[in-house]
Amino acid sequence: MKITILDDYQKIISKLNCFDMLSGQEVQVLHETEKNPLKLAAQIQDTEILVLTRERTKISETLLQNLPHLKLISQTGKISRHIDLEACTKHRVAVAEGVGSPIATAELTWALLMNTVRQIPQAIEGMKAGKWQVNIGQTVHGKTIGIWGYGRIGKIIAQYAKAFGAQVLVWGRENSRNQAVTDGFDQAESKTHFFEHTDIVSLHLRLNEATTGIVTEADLLRMKANACLINTARAELIESGALINVLESGKQIFVGVDVYEEEPVDDPNYQLLHMDHVVCTPHLGYVEKNGYELYFSKAFENVLNFIKGRPTSIANEETLI
C-alpha cells in the first residue's frame, strides 16, 4: 500500500529508529503543510494510508471525498478535533489512535514557565545587543502556581512546583480538584478565585466544544499585576482575541505560549513575537526525540497491522465490517 506521512516540518521522521519498521513499504514524506484540502488531495491522490504528525493537518469531509483510495489514517498521539471521525466513517476510512506521553510537554511547560518568570530570553537578547542586565525577573519559590486541568501533565507540573517551593492551587472538574486535594494541594473556590489568587497560571485542558474559549478576557484581567500566564495546551482555550486585547490594554502580565490558533507561525511580524512581556516557542511541547520514537513507532505498528489484516486501535471499528 502507498503510505504518506504528512507535515514533517523538521525533516526528522525518516531519521527516527522506528522508521525502519516501514522498510519495504512505498512511503512518501511531505515536509510542507498544505492547508487547502483540494491542493493537498492533489498531492496525495493515490495514497492508501495517511500517517498524521499530531494535529498539523485537518482531516475534513472535503479532503476525504477527494482521496478515493484512502483506507486508513494512523494518528500519532490522541485523536482530537482535527479529525472529522464521522466523515471518515462515512467514507469507509479507518482511523487508528496512537499513544502519548506527558513527560516532554510537562518539561517544556516548566522550561517555558521559568524563562517567562525570570525573563531569560529578554536578557539574552539584551546582551546580544550590548546591553547588560536589561531587566529583572522573579523567582518561582514562594509563588502560587495555578494549574487548570489536573490530569497527567497537570499532576507533573504540581510536583515540579512543590520541588521549587511554590504553592499549588488547582481548578478544573470536580473530580480532578478532589484528586488534587487528596494529593496534598489546594483547590480554588471558583474560577474567579483561581485567577485572582495565583501568581502563575498554567493551562492543561483538552480542547473540545466545552473548553473552547473557556479562558475569557475578563479572567485575564482579574490576574494580579506581574502575574504570568503559561499555555502549552491549546491556543483556542483562550477566547479569541482576548490575550492580545489584555496585553494591549496596559495590564501588566507576563505570558509564555507554545501554541497558536494557526500553525505553523512563520511570519516574523507575528504580533506576539514583538511584545516585551511575551515568550514564544514554536509548539515544542511534544517535539522531543524519545517522544517522537514513541508516537511514530505506535503509528507505524498500527499501519503494519492494518496491512496484515489485523487492524489495531481503530476508533471507528464499523469501517472494518
Q: How many angstroms separate the CA atoms of 188 and 76, rounded?
A: 34
Q: Which residues of 237-266 are buried (b: 16+ CB within 10 A; e: fewer)?
A: bbbeebbeebbeeebebbbbbbbbeeeeee
Query: How far is the CA of 293 from the CAs of 100, 161, 189, 308, 313, in angstroms?
Result: 11, 28, 41, 22, 18
Q: Write out pLDDT tens, residues 219-276.
A: 999 999 999 999 999 999 999 999 999 999 999 999 999 999 999 999 999 999 999 9
Q: Write out pLDDT tens, residues 178-232.
A: 999 999 999 999 999 999 999 999 999 999 999 999 999 999 999 999 999 999 9
Q: How many angstroms separate the CA atoms of 194 and 178, rounded?
A: 15
Q: How many angstroms separate the CA atoms of 233 and 122, rounded?
A: 23
Average model confidence (pLDDT) across the chain: 97
Mean pLDDT for the stretch of residues 277-292: 95
Mean pLDDT for the stretch of residues 4-16: 96
Percentage of the chain exceeding pLDDT 70: 100
What pLDDT, on a 0 to 100 scale, did the predictor assign at position 144? 98
Percentage of the chain exceeding pLDDT 90: 98
Band of the pLDDT at 165, cuts 50, 70, 90? very high
Residue 188's Cβ-count burial label (10 Å; 0-12, 13-18, 19+) is buried
Q: How many angstroms separate the CA atoms of 265 and 158, rounded?
A: 30
- Name 128's bridge partners: none
Mean pLDDT for the stretch of residues 71-94: 96
What pLDDT, on a 0 to 100 scale, did the predictor assign at position 140? 98
What pLDDT, on a 0 to 100 scale, did the predictor assign at position 321? 86
- What is the 8-class DSSP label of residue 7? -
What pLDDT, on a 0 to 100 scale, did the predictor assign at position 137? 95
Q: What is the DSSP string of 284-307?
A: -TT--HHHHHHHHHHHHHHHHHHH
164 pLDDT exceeds 90? yes
Band of the pLDDT at 312, cuts 50, 70, 90? very high
Domains present along the chain, CATH in parentheses = 2-100+288-320 (3.40.50.720), 103-280 (3.40.50.720)
CB 93 within 8 A of CB 314: no
Q: How many angstroms separate the CA atoms of 213 and 235, rounded?
A: 9
CB atoms within 10 A of CB 11: 9
What pLDDT, on a 0 to 100 scale, did the predictor assign at position 304? 98
Q: How many angstroms separate the CA atoms of 79 and 95, rounded?
A: 9
What pLDDT, on a 0 to 100 scale, did the predictor assign at position 13? 97
Residue type, 260: Y
- SS3 of 97, please? coil
Q: Write out pLDDT tens, residues 30-44.
A: 999 999 999 999 999
The pairing of beta strand 94-96 with beta strand 72-75: parallel
Residue 18's Cβ-count burial label (10 Å; 0-12, 13-18, 19+) is middle
